[in-house]
Chains A and B, each alone.
Chain A
Amino acid sequence: MISSVLFGAFGLLLVIGAPIAVALGMAAMAAFISIDKDVTTMVQIAYNSVNSFPVMALPAFILSGALMQGSGISRRLVEIAEVLAGRMAGGLATSTVLACLFFGAISGSGPATTAAVGMLMIPAMVKRGYDSGYASAVTASSGGLGIVIPPSIPMVIYGVTASESITKLFIAGVLPGIVIASGIIGMNYVISRKKGYKSHADDWSFKKVFFKIKEGFWALMAPVVILGGIYSGLFTPTEAAIVSIFYTLFVGIFIYRELKLKSIFKSLDSTTWLSGRVLIILFTAQAFGRLLVQYKIPDAIAAWLLAVTGNVFIIWAIIIIFLIMIGMFMETLATIMLVTPVLLPVMTSLGVDPIHFGVVLVMCCEIGFETPPLGENLFIASGIGKVTIEEISVKALPFSVVEIASVFLVAYIPSLTLWLPKVFGY
């Protein structure tokens, strides 16, 4: 009964174009009223949802990512990646994947990664004779690495929604990120050999690599400061994000001297509305999730799933396909806040570790970035490469296949996510 009010109202509001936050909040409110419960509880939930230290990592990471672009740190990281993978077939495309990997280690956002890396790498690849559709497809596909490689904003949101350690998630995401990146690099190698995309080894030398690394030393130190601080246990993720803001300000103003007051204000501004719209969903999703748990709706879903099959592999497959479908139509952070309260209790009752589920969930969202109709990375890459969305999505298909295969690999081999945190003592 209460589940039909919750899901019915939510679905209806979503279809008529209400903001996701309102659809969740109004559904929860309607459910509270339908069972004669005091709606005042929602005020308490609203306060408690944001009155927490770990949630403050969200605006802090958004702000530090925005500042890094204006300070010249982003650009130098991409340039280092560019000189690193010189000698392979399809070398420049490999550099693009590496650049997304580096970039992912300072920024928690997929579209930001695609935009920053694509701006430099797509024109460079086209100049080297790459088909511009293919160049855009590689960038759009690897741009999503930004959210799997820590620090990751979606992981912060998952950790907050699921009450799991964000530090542990950040450690758990490392190997799965490397799995996807190697998959994309491998696929690119095969395609590039077939199409004859050459390496750019003609002007490649150790001296050049050394020079670029020296030039980008302070930029390379940014991920070291952020991740090293978190992994060593010196900082909490929120503190690490704060430290990285000031590191970026210091490097951008005093060392690279590129950071302008105007871009500091712009970064503050975009951080404000981005955080505002996410945090209000956090509140309404928590109200929605609390009702779900109180009325044991996840248990009912788990029982239903187990009636279909008792095989954990098949259940994972159903969940992954479901998550990828949702990720195709809904914004990433909203997806995570919506499905976590529904599916996490289901999966834990089947014996899945919450950290493991979180990493798979984020990986599924990553695929949503490069699939139509909502794939943000596609739109960005198509804008830079001047290619149609259709062409990019067709050329990105091999990469999507590799990425979906990686998701299954990570889902089926729990130690890929759980081994590293154990080594670090979590």
Chain B
Amino acid sequence: MNLKNIIKKTILVLDNIEGHLCKALLSFFVILLFVQVLMRTVFQSSLAWSEECSRFSFVWFAFLGASYAARLGAHNRVVFQFRFFPPAVGIGFQIFADAIWIVFNSIMTVKSIETIQGMIRYPFNSPAMDVPMHYIYMLFPVTFTLMNIRIIQTNILKYVLKRELKDVDDISSEMEDIKHDMKVEQENQGRSA
């Protein structure tokens, strides 16, 4: 392994770090909840910590997922009004809107750090697992800062490096997968026969 490949790999992993973490968290709390359902319905006993543990992973999953969505440029915007103007107008306004978004995230980061400082001063722990709550709240400064990085990153990718970002909502790119899953080709042959 040469150094160049390792760096390349690392960058690729870091570029999708929220995605990887989210998939892990999602799988984790889905499995945990299933175990909980099994315990309750089959073995008639419930685990006290599992509900809380799955909820905490879900909270992290939710906000990391929002950052992942920012990396993909997937957050819903109303854009049909820009059709009536030259493209530059729409681009200009959206960059300005993203700047406001960064302001919002920065305020949220500062305020959540204040909240966490308060929690460290007057600590309280979660009822079932006895985890200090400020560890859970760390998610806010982390994810809102990450989101800012992603906003700047996607704007640079789009307008400086002129890369085309894939529109994740455009289902036409998914059509091939759906076609495969629904076995369209074979089906049609079967029908004509």
* A273–B175 touching, CB < 8 Å: no
* B78–A272 touching, CB < 8 Å: no
Contacts of B97 in A (CB 8 A): 13, 16-19, 22
CA distance A13 to B75 in the complex (A): 14
Contacts of A52 in B (CB 8 A): 55
Once A18-B97, A56-B54, A119-B182 are accepted as A-B contacts, the answer to whether A380 and B171 lie under 8 Å apart by CB is yes
Once A63-B26, A272-B19 are accepted as A-B contacts, the answer to whether A383 and B111 lie under 8 Å apart by CB is no
* B114–A275 touching, CB < 8 Å: no
Bits for B41-68, please: 1 = Cβ < 8 Å to A, else 0: 1000000000100110011011111111
A49 and chain B: residue at smallest CB distance: B62
- Tell me if B11 is interfacial: C-beta within 8 Å of chain A: no
* B104–A25 touching, CB < 8 Å: yes
* A242–B104 touching, CB < 8 Å: no
Q: Which of A205-253 touch B at CB < 8 Å?
A: 234-235, 238-239, 242-243, 245-246
- Tell me if B153 is interfacial: C-beta within 8 Å of chain A: no
Q: Which of A345-369 touch B at CB < 8 Å?
A: none
* B65–A120 touching, CB < 8 Å: no
* A17–B74 touching, CB < 8 Å: no
- Tell me if B101 is interfacial: C-beta within 8 Å of chain A: yes
CA distance A282 to B86 in the complex (A): 33
Contacts of B112 in A (CB 8 A): 43, 46
- Tell me if A186 is interfacial: C-beta within 8 Å of chain B: no
Once A47-B59, A234-B41, A242-B37 are accepted as A-B contacts, the answer to whether A120 and B23 lie under 8 Å apart by CB is no
Bits for B91-120, please: 1 = Cβ < 8 Å to A, else 0: 001101110110110011001101100000
A44 and chain B: residue at smallest CB distance: B115
Contacts of B72 in A (CB 8 A): 273
* A280–B66 touching, CB < 8 Å: yes
* A239–B101 touching, CB < 8 Å: no
* B179–A119 touching, CB < 8 Å: yes
Contacts of A373 in B (CB 8 A): 80
Once A234-B41, A276-B22 are accepted as A-B contacts, the answer to whether A17 and B62 lie under 8 Å apart by CB is no
* B58–A56 touching, CB < 8 Å: yes
Q: Tell me the dominant secondary structure on chain B's binding face.
A: helix
- Tell me if B178 is interfacial: C-beta within 8 Å of chain A: yes
* A276–B182 touching, CB < 8 Å: no
* A43–B108 touching, CB < 8 Å: yes
Q: Tell me the dominant secondary structure on chain A's binding face.
A: helix
* B65–A17 touching, CB < 8 Å: no
* B79–A17 touching, CB < 8 Å: yes
A299 to chain B, nearest CB (A): 28
* A238–B101 touching, CB < 8 Å: no
- Tell me if A291 is interfacial: C-beta within 8 Å of chain B: no
- Tell me if A330 is interfacial: C-beta within 8 Å of chain B: yes
B177 to chain A, nearest CB (A): 7
Once A238-B33, A243-B37 are accepted as A-B contacts, the answer to whether A277 and B76 lie under 8 Å apart by CB is yes
* A51–B171 touching, CB < 8 Å: no
* B93–A268 touching, CB < 8 Å: no
* A17–B94 touching, CB < 8 Å: yes
* B61–A275 touching, CB < 8 Å: yes
The number of chain B residues with a CB under 8 A from chain A is: 70
Report the stretch among A69-77, A190-198, A394-402 that lies at the interface: A69-77
Q: Which of A149-190 touch B at CB < 8 Å?
A: none
Which one of B29, B55, B171, B184 has the greatest number of beta carbons of chain A within 10 Å? B171
B104 to chain A, nearest CB (A): 5
Contacts of B177 in A (CB 8 A): 263, 266
A14 and chain B: residue at smallest CB distance: B78
- Tell me if A42 is interfacial: C-beta within 8 Å of chain B: yes
A78 and chain B: residue at smallest CB distance: B182
CA distance A122 to B190 in the complex (A): 16
Once A43-B111, A379-B171 are accepted as A-B contacts, the answer to whether A271 and B26 lie under 8 Å apart by CB is yes
CA distance A21 to B70 in the complex (A): 11
Contacts of B188 in A (CB 8 A): 123-124, 127
- Tell me if A426 is interfacial: C-beta within 8 Å of chain B: no
* B59–A51 touching, CB < 8 Å: yes
Once A268-B27, A276-B67 are accepted as A-B contacts, the answer to whether A17 and B93 lie under 8 Å apart by CB is yes
* A276–B68 touching, CB < 8 Å: yes
CA distance A374 to B191 in the complex (A): 34
* A115–B174 touching, CB < 8 Å: yes
CA distance A272 to B30 in the complex (A): 13
* A43–B76 touching, CB < 8 Å: no
Contacts of A324 in B (CB 8 A): none
Q: A268-B23, A279-B62 are in contact. List 11 more A-B contacts (CB 8 A).
A: A16-B94, A20-B76, A26-B101, A44-B115, A115-B175, A116-B178, A243-B37, A269-B19, A274-B69, A330-B76, A380-B171
By Cβ-Cβ distance, the 5 closest A-B pairs, closest first, are A276-B65, A18-B97, A19-B75, A280-B66, A279-B62
- Using a CB–CB cutoff of 8 Å, the interface residues on chain B facing chain A are 19, 22-23, 26-27, 29-30, 33-34, 37, 41, 51, 54-55, 58-59, 61-69, 72, 74-82, 90, 93-94, 96-98, 100-101, 103-104, 107-108, 111-112, 114-115, 137, 140, 168-169, 171-172, 174-175, 177-179, 181-184, 187-188, 191-192
Give me 23 A-to-B residue pairs in the complex whose CB atoms sit less than 8 angstroms apart, sorted by A's number: A13-B97, A18-B77, A19-B75, A20-B78, A22-B97, A26-B104, A40-B114, A43-B108, A43-B115, A46-B140, A51-B55, A56-B29, A115-B174, A120-B184, A124-B188, A238-B33, A266-B177, A272-B61, A272-B68, A279-B65, A380-B172, A383-B171, A384-B175
- Using a CB–CB cutoff of 8 Å, the interface residues on chain A facing chain B are 13-22, 25-26, 29, 39-40, 42-44, 46-47, 50-53, 55-56, 59-60, 63, 69-70, 72, 74-75, 78, 111, 115-116, 119-120, 123-124, 127, 234-235, 238-239, 242-243, 245-246, 263, 265-266, 268-277, 279-281, 329-331, 334, 373-374, 376, 379-380, 383-384
